[in-house]
Amino acid sequence: MRFKSLRNDEAGAQDFIAAALKQRSFDVSRVRTDAARIGHHSAISPATAAYDCSG
């Protein structure tokens, strides 16, 4: 099975994994990326894509 998993195009893969985990009785949370908070971390390089659709 293949899914695009490129920046800002990974929702299909995330949905598939979330559904598979839920079927196995795992709790699944979707968390929106907070670009303002992660932007100050020393390991993060400047974003080249918007995080508006994350989560």
pTM of full prediction above 0.75: no
What number is the average pLDDT over the span 19-30? Answer: 96
The residues spanned by each domain of the chain are 27-55
Q: Determine the pLDDT at residue 25.
A: 98
Rounded Cα distance between 28 and 7, Å, is 21
Q: In whole angstroms, what separates CA 23 from the centre of its chain?
A: 20
Rounded Cα distance between 28 and 19, Å, is 9
Radius of gyration of the chain (CA): 14
Q: Determine the pLDDT at residue 20.
A: 96
Rounded Cα distance between 50 and 36, Å, is 11
Rounded Cα distance between 36 and 55, Å, is 15
The amino acid occupying position 28 is: V
